[in-house]
Each structure stands twice: as structure tokens, then as C-alpha cells.
Structure 1
Amino acid sequence: MAKLVTISLLALVSLLLGCAISGTPPKGKHLSPTECRDLAALRSNPHPTFGEHQSELAALRKAGYNPSPWFDDPYYPDDLQAAQRLVEYWFQTECS
């Protein structure tokens, strides 16, 4: 389990560094229209719905974040923050 988390984290870090170094974003759409709508609602709604939170979690998982079911993730909060930055980048570039 820890090995899988390490590999996933390394893949995410490589992706983020690759984008930062090359200056070219990853190709293709990453966020669905529903995720775009719900992420926008999370930013403006003081009382988000359960569905909006679920969309945010789905987007974070697409970005490589895997919440540990055992609450012992040695990379927390760094892995969550890296996924949040990637989702924010996708939101800024893909959601109008």
C-alpha cells in the first residue's frame, strides 16, 4: 500500500514538474462539465451540497490524490495540496 502511494506521488510530482519545466499543460480535458459547475459553486456558495463535495473529491482523485482509508498517509498534506494545485490549474484552463 505504501509503495503504491509512493509511486502515485512520484507520478504526480513528475507530472507537475514536467508542466512547470516545459511550460506546456497536459493534453485533453480533465474535468467534466459537472465538476466545473460544482467547483465553481464551491467557491461561491457558503453552504455547499454533498454532491458538490463529491465532485471535488472526484476531481482530486483524477489529479492523483487517494485519501488513505487508514488515516496514516505519511505524505499528507503534501499529496493533497499537490492535487489541489493541479485541480485548480485544470479549473482555470478548462472551465469557462
Structure 2
Amino acid sequence: MPRLFLMRLACVQFPFQVIRPEEVIYASVLKATGLIEAEFNPPLSPNGKYVPTRTAIVICITDEGMAELKRLQDERPRRWNRSARSAPPRFW
């Protein structure tokens, strides 16, 4: 799913605020893999306790992220063409 989120990010204006919990997780995965630059709320509350990050700000898609988007774009038509035009394999 982070790949789908990356494709979604290709269509937004930056900086982009992420507030849905699952998308915050996707953003953290994409940042960890170097595909986007993002900032997250600090994981500590003012009293020093850990709190899960609830929002993120995606700053941009990195060059590596753009290369991944290009690879996904190039890969997509091949899968669709193969499944739409090829007959099921025969085993007899």
C-alpha cells in the first residue's frame, strides 16, 4: 500500500499534510526507504511520555521516489496487457 500512497502523492501539492493514521504509517515507510522527505510530530508528549505520531507533513518526493514512480508507470501497462490479452495456460 505505500506504493499506492506514493502514486497518490504524485498528484498533490507540497507541502502536504497527512492525517489519516494508515497514511501516516505509509509516509513513515516511504521516508525510511528514502522515497519522500517528510516531517513527523515528535513522539514524546510535553510530559515525556511516548505518543503515537498522528500527523505528518510530506515535503517532497525524492529523486529515488520519482524513479520508483517511473518504474511503476512502466511496469503497469505490461501487467494489464498480459492479463487482458493472453489466454489462460493450457495444461493438456
TM-score (norm 2): 0.31
Identify, as 1 or 2, the structure richer in helix. 1
TM-score (norm 1): 0.30
Identify, as 1 or 2, the structure richer in strand. 2
Pick the structure with greater CA Rg: 2
